[in-house]
Each structure stands twice: as C-alpha cells, then as structure tokens.
C-alpha cells in the first residue's frame, strides 16, 4: 500500500506521469456526501463479483484489470461513476476510445493511457485510504485467570473507557452523520476550529482522532497501573510508539 507519509499530506502526489492524486477536504466531502466519496474511491478497487457476478466465457481468462476495463466499456453507469472519480481525485478528464479499447487520462501533453500500472497504482491508493477504518486491533485489556477481583474491576473500567474512546473516534457506524460526529469530536478535543477541520483531508482527520485515542488510552493505563500487578498485565505502548 502507499505510504502514510504520502496520504497524510494534503499536497497532491504523482500517480503516473503528470497525473496527480488530490484528496478532497472534509468540507468538500460533506458537500458531496460521505457515501459518494467512498463510492468514488471504491471505483478503483471493485471485486470481480461486484463487477460481473459469475464468471463467463468472456471473463474467465481475464485478469482483474481486464474485467474492470470490460465493465467500463459495457456499462454507461460504470463509466459515469469513473468519470466522477477522475474529476474528484485526479482533477482532469477521462476519454474512452472503444475502437482501440483504450482509456486516456488527462489532457494534451499531460495525458496518459490508463493501463494496468495506472489501475494498480490507483487501487493501491484506494485500499490504503479505505483501510483506515477497517484495521483489526488487538484487545489491550484482556483478563487472565490469575487476576484478583480488584484487577478485574480495573480492567473492566479500562475496557469501558477504551470503548468510549473508540466511539469518539469512529462515531456510530449505523447512522449517516458519522462524519459530522467525527468533526465535532476533533473540534472538542483538539482545540481546532470547525473551519480548520473542514480544511483537513479525511486521512488527516482520522489519524488525528486515532492519535488522540492512543494518548488517552496510555494516560488511562498509566494512571491505573499502580493498582495492578505488572507481572500479570501487559503494559500499553507509549502513544509515540503506536
């Protein structure tokens, strides 16, 4: 996947040739809708089953890029969604050339073919950004058989606090205003103004919220650690290490 260093800046970075990737600001995502934002990003990382359902004679010998391109030339809806994605993330135009079965990204001297290298690079970017909210986390506050009742009580409090912090960071995933809750949370705990948060990218906002949670979990563990048996309890990493 693409490096965090690339994603955490709001400076456009190269994809292929003179084409660059631009991350919308939080304010822009609010305007377009979070579902639209993730949908346009997902256009570069669709599963085969999402595109074709079941394999056929026309697709069984094609790789993922071949299937993806086949769907583009056979579906007007699919093409329009990709046009929107290119406009949003690459700030340029896309042209479909059915006679040569090719796709051109960009204009004039900055234009380039959308070949497999281009596709895989964009898929890598898409996966790196969408993975932010999907990473698995090892449980930090596990109980062991030899813990005392007092230690179990403390661990329960720590787990409850961790769950609260996770809700602050991710919001309620079942409601449509998750992004709004994340914005309000960052303003409340980060001493940012709403205008400043609106100018962040989604990646920047998520990483700031995640680091806040790391700091709070470390400080909570440090405050309670004198009351726990260090031989039985795995210490939480310092927030600079996470």
Q: What number is the average pLDDT over the span 50-72?
A: 83
d(CA 69, CA 75): 10
pLDDT digits (tens, 9 = 90+) for 171-220: 555 445 778 888 998 998 888 999 999 999 999 998 888 888 777 777 77
Q: What is the DSSP letter of 236?
A: P
Q: Which of 76, 111, 119 is nearest to 95 (CA)?
A: 111
Q: Which residue has the higher pLDDT, 150 or 237?
A: 237
pTM for this model (two decimals): 0.73
d(CA 183, CA 37): 16
Distances (CA, A) of 102 to 44, 70, 163: 16, 10, 49
pLDDT at 225 over 80: no
CA gyration radius, the chain = 23
Give SS3 for 95.
strand
């Amino acid at each position: 996947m693409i490096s965090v260093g690339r994603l955490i800046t709001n400076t456009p970075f190269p994809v292929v040739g003179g084409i660059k990737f631009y991350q919308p600001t939080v304010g822009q995502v609010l305007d377009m809708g979070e579902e639209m934002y993730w949908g346009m990003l997902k256009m570069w990382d669709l599963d085969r089953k999402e595109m074709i359902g079941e394999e056929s004679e026309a697709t069984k010998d094609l790789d993922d890029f071949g299937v993806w391109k086949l769907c583009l030339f056979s579906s007007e809806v699919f093409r329009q969604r990709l046009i929107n994605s290119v406009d949003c993330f690459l700030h340029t135009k896309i042209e479909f050339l059915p006679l040569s079965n090719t796709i051109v990204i960009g204009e004039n001297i900055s234009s380039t073919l959308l070949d497999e290298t281009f596709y895989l690079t964009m898929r890598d970017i898409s996966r790196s950004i969408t993975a932010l909210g999907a990473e698995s986390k090892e449980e930090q506050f596990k109980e062991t058989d030899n813990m005392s009742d007092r230690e179990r009580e403390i661990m329960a409090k720590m787990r409850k606090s961790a769950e609260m912090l996770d809700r602050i960071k991710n919001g309620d995933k079942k409601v449509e205003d998750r992004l709004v809750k994340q914005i309000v949370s960052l303003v409340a705990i980060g001493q940012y103004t709403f205008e400043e948060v609106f100018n962040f990218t989604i990646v920047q906002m998520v990483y700031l919220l995640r680091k806040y949670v790391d700091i709070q979990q470390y400080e909570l563990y440090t405050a309670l650690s004198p009351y726990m048996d260090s031989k039985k309890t795995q210490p939480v990493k310092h927030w600079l290490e996470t």
